[in-house]
Amino acid sequence: MRERPAGQVPAIVVEGLRKDYGEVRAVDGVSFQVRRGEIYALLGPNGAGKTSTVEILEGHRRRTGGSVRVLGFDPGAGDRHFRERVGIVLQSGGMDAELTVREMVSLFAGFYAWPRDAAETIEQVGLAAKCRARVRTLSGGQARRLDLALALIGDPEVLFLDEPTTGFDPNARREAWDMIAGLRRSGTTVLLTSHYLDEVQHLADRVGVMSHGHLVEESTPDALGGRDVSGTVISFRLPARLRGSDPPAGPWDQPAGPAGEFTMHTDEPTRVLLALTQWACAHHAELPGLTVTRPSLEDVYLRITGQAGIGAGDGH
Amino acid sequence: MATEEARRSRPDVLLALGQVRYQLMLLLRSPLGFSLSIVFPLLLLVCLKVITPSHPVGGLPYAQWATPAMCAFCLLNACYVTVITSMVLAREEGTLKRLRGTPLPAWAYLAGRFGSALVTSVIACGVIIATGVAFFHVSIVWHASGYFAAAAFLGIACFFLIGAAVTTVVPKTDTALPIAFGTMLPLAFISDVFFSVSHPPAWLHDLASAFPVAPVAQAMEDSFNPATQSWPMPLSGLLVVLGWSAAAIAVIALAFRWEPGPAPAVRGLGRSPGWLSRSRHGP
């Protein structure tokens, strides 16, 4: 696998992207950039426009308006040199059921001047034991791994992964995550959509959340929706000798009993914690049960999209 | 370690040869279409010979006429029916969409399909002729064998191109076979493939002459007539074959698509013309 320089040069630039299906506007003025070597995840509920956006970037769909560049190419121009430098894992795509895993990977390797080693790629996706098996005999998860192998065999600079681990068992997902993380180390740029928020949390350098065709939030997974600071919950109990005291930086939600927990939802956890811990230190006291918790990515995602109960799929 | 600047495309000829190999491998792994291309015409040859054992055609023994006619039927099966059904299946199952995400140009994919159709046709014609020679006293007219090969090649190319063009208007897999057979069989009937029409009505003759099956089939049949001394396809027939081929190439260039689903015109989405290397879904 070739090492590639990561950096601030964008591998993907999307500006004011629009996509209409008849009267329906599926993507409405979406703009974002993905730097080389970065793993960028697109999240959004069904029909948010994620797959339309990704398929436009892959060159599979025509855009209605806006500007798109991938490695400097307009994907819609169908340039062969563009397709030599990208790899695509489709949400669903056909394979020749009567060929073996090895034959499929070798066939796709033949499309590129500088393919990766077929055996090594098969092993990397965990299909070494199945390399002589016909495609029709593969389980759903194994077929998905073959998808990944076919996308990787051309040693792409940019990899599009549309829900790449759907159907994987937990072990296979972890292995796929390790492989994708390995791609990041080699400088491969990855644009990912996923059903799994823990996958995004684990893999993505940055996340864009789409809803109703708009990019409504963009951040790192840890800071999405301000979750690195906002909505932080601080809780503690007072030691016996300080009971009856009034902790600083309040107001705190008071405990029901003398040994109960004080809690606070705050957007300024640093300031509150500093005041609280200084106060405790000044009294030479430990604060039992002191915890600082942040909302999960799922909590923030559901709040942003305003569609609690709807998963991160896509209908297009 | 290669740099990004050193990336270069794989030579086109290697891509095309790889596709031929790939399609032949598919043919061997799933030989149903391959068998049908041979078994149907072979059965027809045997049945027609049994039904009309002493019926002469144009002064020739029946089998001497029917053997090359069934070879023409092989070409229609291998290059038209099979191409339509297998390419529509590949498109609707998403195989073509997956290939579209690779550097493989459309023409190389089509070259692979053509190679597969060519090999199937050659084998099928070989089996039919061998059966005729072995069991029905058919004689190969060696001095006209080059004409036979040339007419067959014209047919293979023309039927393949028309088949590939027809796929652009076939909306889904389960309509592919009815469309393929529904268009092929009537033409075969009026084009001297199943039986020789001695004195057809003028309108039927004109209708058959407007399509490429009749000139190809008749040239192949004439190539098995010992009296044939020169290229048996009249210029008008050759122009019909070439004209249909050119029209099919134009349709493929304008409307070939990799994505599953109905044609863009059916969906009401306008598409600008694109040559074979262009995505039907690119701006």
Q: State the pLDDT confidence band at B54, using cuts at 50, 70 and 90.
A: low
Is A90 a member of any domain? no
Tell me: pLDDT of A48 over 80: yes
Q: Tell me: do A309 and A169 sit in the same domain.
A: yes
CB proximity A62 to B under 8 Å: yes
Tell me the C-alpha distance between A245 and B85, whole Å: 83
The alpha-carbon radius of gyration of chain A (Å, integer) is 24
Chosen for mutation from A84, A96, A134 (greatest number of chain B CBs closer than 10 Å) is A96
Roughly what angle, to the nearest 10 degrees, separates helices B106-135 and B82-92?
150
Q: Is A83 within 8 Å of chain B by CB? A: yes
Alpha carbons B81 and B86: distance in angstroms, whole number: 9
Domain boundaries, position A250: 232-293
Residue listed under structure tokens 């049945």? B47
Whether residue A112 is found in the same domain as residue A180: no
Taking CB atoms and an 8 Å limit, are B10 and A113 in contact across chains? yes
H or E stretch covering A196: none
> Are residues A216 and A304 part of one domain?
yes
Instruction: Tell whether B172 lies on the interface with A, counting CB pairs under 8 A.
Output: no
| pLDDT-based confidence at residue B42 (cuts at 50, 70, 90) | confident
In a domain, A303, yes or no: yes
| pLDDT tens digit sequence for A90-120 | 877 788 888 999 999 999 999 998 899 999 9
Instruction: Answer whether residue A24 is part of any domain.
Output: yes
Distance, in angstroms, between A1 CA and closest chain B CA?
8
- Containing H/E element for A20? strand A10-21
Do the chains contact at B26 and A80, CB–CB below 8 Å? no
Q: pLDDT digit string (tens) for B92-136?
A: 999 999 999 999 988 999 999 999 899 989 999 999 999 999 988
Inside any domain, residue B203 = yes
Is B118 inside a domain boundary? Answer: yes
A chain contacts of residue B104, beta-carbon cutoff 8 Å:
111
Query: Given a cut of 90, is residue A261 above it in pLDDT?
Result: no
The mean pLDDT of chain B is 84
Let me know if residue B27 belongs to a domain: yes
Residues A218 and A240 in one domain: no
Over residues A200-222, the mean pLDDT reads 88
- For residues A62 and B278, the answer to whether their CB atoms sit within 8 Å is no
Statement to judge: residues A237 and A187 lie in one domain: no
The nearest alpha carbon in chain B to A114 belongs to B7
Chain A residues with CB-CB distance to B278 below 8 A: 77-78
| Residues A67, A211 share a domain | yes
A56 with A7, same domain: the answer is yes
State the nearest Cα–Cα gap between A184 and chain B, in angstroms: 17
Residue B171 structural domain? 11-267
The verdict on residue B282 lying in a domain is: no
Residue B84 included in any domain: yes
Shared domain check, A137 and A278: no
Regarding whether A66 and A1 lie in a shared domain, the answer is: yes
The SS3 assignment for B70 reads helix
Contacts of A123 (CB under 8 A, 6+ apart): none
Of the residues A155, A174, A197, which one is the last residue of a structural domain? A155
Give Cα A278 to chain centroid, integer Å.
Answer: 38
Find the CATH number of the domain harbouring A184. 3.40.50.300
pLDDT tens digit string along B144-180?
999 999 999 999 999 999 999 999 999 889 999 999 9
Task: Label the pairing between strands A86-89 and A158-162.
Answer: parallel
Task: Name the domain count of chain A.
Answer: 3
Specify whether A300 is located in the same domain as A219: yes
User: What average pLDDT does chain A have?
Assistant: 84
pLDDT at A299: 75
- The pTM (predicted TM-score) of the whole model is 0.79
A61 contacts in B (CB within 8 Å)?
281
Closest residue to A90, CB basis, from B8, B98, B104: B98
For residues A116 and A76, membership in a common domain is answered with no
Helices (H) and strands (E) in chain B, counts: 12, 0
| A188 in a structural domain | yes
- Report how many Cβ contacts below 8 Å link chain A to chain B: 114
Rounded CA separation B70/B193 (Å): 7
Cα-flanking dihedrals φ and ψ of residue B247, to 5°? -65, -40
Tokens of A208: 């864009």
Q: Are residues A276 and A303 in the same domain?
A: no
Q: How far is CA B3 from the centre of its chain?
A: 44
- Paired with A190 in beta bridges are A39, A159
Among the ranges given (A33-42, A302-311, B13-22, B188-197), the one the predictor scored with the smallest mean pLDDT: A302-311
Burial of A23 from C-beta contacts in 10 A (0-12 / 13-18 / 19+): exposed
Strand partners, A291: A235
What band does A42 get if pLDDT is binned at 50, 70 and 90?
A: very high
Where b means 16+ CB within 10 Å and e means fewer, A154-189 reads bbbbbbbbbbbbbebeeebbebbbebbeebbeebbb
- List Cβ neighbours of B94 (8 Å cut-off, separation of 6 or more): A90, A92, A93, A94, B260
Of A179, A153, A154, A152, whose CA–CA distance to A165 is shortest?
Answer: A179
Tell me, what's the ipTM?
A: 0.80
Does residue B6 lie in a domain region? no
Would the CB atoms of B2 and A4 count as touching at under 8 Å?
no
Residue B79 placed within a domain? yes
Which pLDDT score, from 0 to 100, does residue B278 have?
40
Nearest neighbour of A111 by CB, restricted to B6, B10, B90: B10
Residue B278 lies inside a defined structural domain of this protein: no
Number of domains in chain B: 1
B contacts of A133 (beta carbons < 8 Å):
none
